[in-house]
Structure 1
Amino acid sequence: MKRLAIALLTLPFLCASAFAQSGGNLKVFISVDMEGITGVVNWEDVSRAGKDYDRFRRIMTEEVNAAIEGAVAAGATEIVVRDSHGSARNVLPDLLDPSARLIRDWSGGPKVMMEGIDESFDAAVFIGYHAKAGTPDALLEHTSSGDVTDFSINGISMPEAGYNALIAGYYDVPVVFAAGDKALCEQVEGLLGDVETVAVKEGIGAAALTLHPEMSHERIRAGVERALSNLDRFEPFKLDTPYTLVLKLKTEESVYRGSFFPGAERTGDWELTYSSDDFLEVMYAFGAMRR
């Protein structure tokens, strides 16, 4: 009985060791936003001018570290973190787990929150994500910018997690884990199906019922490890081509300006449509049309 207990306790370590010894490489991409971080309830919490911004930068970094720890426990040999909120200079580099490398600031390319991902990665993880614009009982819900009221591809309305999953799918990389508020988790599960999620808080109007940060860390760490230890469960998120983007904006000025992008068509009062067989072209168009 004692030998059995010892064997069970050492099994996770042996599995990770066996993976490394077999010469396998597990490369993980982590995209981190801020509105879905534990405790964040107000725009001031995620804005540089906010009095609690530095506190939530630290909590954001700690949640990323929890994901990194889970990835390492699952045998990850290379981890890249993409800071993808606001200035893209929020994660604290000196407090980031040294097992990972960090991408900061914006490149100007179409991958935006997924900058750095390519076909060499085995899995993608989302931390601190939020629900799409107009979602009830969601914290700081929006889609890309305050001017966007809806983003849909081939008739499917989706949050940032949706189109970022399509960018990952462009490179045949599955999204295996997402953490954010409860509404975000429900939207990700509805789009991607069998994906690990952790809800770190739940919206109550403009307020939130939130976990303690340490509890969020534990659940994120365990969820990421579980997901990466069972990669066969997941498939890249893809849709049939052509990709048809229907973008709804908040003002006449925005729609009028966006309508001049080559290939864009005004298809409603405050609605633009754009189609392409290349999803990165769609994302480039989206970035130009929403400005």
Structure 2
Amino acid sequence: MRIYISADMEGVTGLVDADDVQPGGRDYERGRLMMAEDVNAAVEAAFAAGATEVTVNDAHGPMRNLLPEALHPEVRLVRGRPKQMGMLAGLTPEHAAMVCVGYHSRAGELGVLSHSFMGHEIEDMWLDGRPVGEIGLAHATAAAIGVPVVALTGDDRACAEMADWDASVATAPVKYARDRFAAELRPAGEARAEIRRAVAAGLAGPRGAAPRAAAPQAAAAPSVLSVRWQSASVASTLLGIPGVTATDPRTVQARGALPGLYRQFGVWMRVASSLTNQPPYC
């Protein structure tokens, strides 16, 4: 049984501020070790549940946060960028299940370090008319690839967002949002025990059986992804990409099948990054 873990950082145990999660921040070095501990808790639970291989994708910011020597010695780590599938790089139909570690709520929600992919620059996103952030888009894309998301860890708002998207996913709240840069923290040992519990429950499934990859949904009707940018300049520039249309001066959309649409969104973000210089958490 091959298991895939997408590891973000904002939803990691103990972390609440940009200084915890951005390279150069005064507490970043501590934060990356906390990230490794959360990932290791999920990895340990996966192996205990019968995994024969665990792939971890470093999915946060520069995607070089996880130190290989700090991880479980049997982990296969996908590290660095650019990666064509970004937060889902390395995910294939051969994986039996996907686990999201350290995820956060979408832009506009009052969760710890909440945003959608690009901090201030992306104001809102919709998938087929439904508000979406990193959690929903990752879940939908994994389903299109044929891999079920079985567990998610993060703050309570991220867990609630996942429950709204798919109530069957096991969640582990490692902290409770009090504002965008404040939280009530669970003791680290307790939080990691909760991560192990959620991953074990997710991999056991509702009938105690290991999950099997869902049938790919790529043959279904194409999805529509819409993004409202803070900058009209970004929206205007993206109109140069075939298939991208505008619904207002700051909102663009495209129609296509996942996971291809997810990959195209990665191109949109690279264009936006070349045009802007906004701090992620302003």
* TM-score normalised over the length of structure 1: 0.86
In structure 2, the partner of 1:190 is 164
Distance, in Å, in 2 between the alignment partners of 1:144 and 1:238 is 24
Return the match for 2:228 from 248, 253, 260.
Answer: 248
Amino acid at match of 1:266: A
In structure 2, the partner of 1:280 is 259
In structure 1, the partner of 2:187 is 212
In structure 2, the partner of 1:229 is 204
Distance, in Å, in 2 between the alignment partners of 1:83 and 1:216 is 20
What is the correspondence of 1:84-233 to structure 2 with a 5 Å cutoff?
84-109=59-84, 111-136=85-110, 138-146=111-119, 147-205=121-179, 206-230=181-205, 231=209
- Evaluate the alpha carbon distance shift between residue 215 and residue 238 of structure 1 in structure 2; reply closer, same or farther with a 3 A threshold: farther
Distance, in Å, in 2 between the alignment partners of 1:44 and 1:65 is 22
Q: CA deviation at 1:285?
A: 2.5
For each residue in 1:46-71, what CA deviation from the matched residue of structure 2 results, as whole angstroms up to 9, or x when unmatched?
A: 01111111111111001100001111
Q: CA deviation at 1:102?
A: 0.5
For each residue in 1:123-161, what CA deviation from the matched residue of structure 2 results, as whole angstroms up to 9, or x when unmatched?
A: 00000000000002x111110102111121111111201
Q: Across the two proteins, how many residue pairs are aligned to each other? A: 263
Residue 53 of structure 2 corresponds to residue 78 of structure 1? yes
Q: CA deviation at 1:233?
A: 7.3
For each residue in 1:163-211, what CA deviation from the matched residue of structure 2 results, as whole angstroms up to 9, or x when unmatched?
A: 1112211221100000001111001111012110011111112311111
- Evaluate the alpha carbon distance shift between residue 27 and residue 101 of structure 1 in structure 2; reply closer, same or farther with a 3 A threshold: same
In structure 2, the partner of 1:12 is none
- Work out the percentage of aligned pairs sharing the same amino acid: 32
Distance, in Å, in 2 between the alignment partners of 1:107 and 1:47 is 18
Distance, in Å, in 1 between the alignment partners of 2:91 and 2:187 is 31
Distance, in Å, in 2 between the alignment partners of 1:46 and 1:250 is 23
In structure 1, the partner of 2:250 is 270
Secondary structure of the corresponding residue to residue 144 of structure 1: coil
Q: CA deviation at 1:282?
A: 1.3
Contact 1:107 1:115 in 2 (8 A): no
Distance, in Å, in 1 between the alignment partners of 2:171 and 2:217 is 20
Q: CA deviation at 1:288?
A: 2.6
Secondary structure of the corresponding residue to residue 259 of structure 2: helix
Runs of at least 5 residues in structure 1 that lack an aligned partner in the other structure = 1-25
In structure 2, the partner of 1:261 is 241
Runs of at least 5 residues in structure 2 that lack an aligned partner in the other structure = 273-282
Return the match for 2:3 from 28, 31, 47.
Answer: 28
* TM-score normalised over the length of structure 2: 0.88
Return the match for 2:35 from 60, 64, 69.
Answer: 60
- Evaluate the alpha carbon distance shift between residue 59 and residue 105 of structure 1 in structure 2; reply closer, same or farther with a 3 A threshold: same
Q: CA deviation at 1:234?
A: 8.3
Give the ranges of 4+ consecutive aligned residues of structure 1 lying more than 4 Å apart after TM superposition. Answer: 231-240
Q: Which 10-residue stretch deviates more, 79-88 or 203-212?
A: 203-212
Q: CA RMSD in A?
A: 1.8
Amino acid at match of 1:30: I
Q: CA deviation at 1:95?
A: 1.4
Q: CA deviation at 1:33?
A: 0.3
Secondary structure of the corresponding residue to residue 279 of structure 1: coil
Distance, in Å, in 2 between the alignment partners of 1:60 and 1:120 is 26
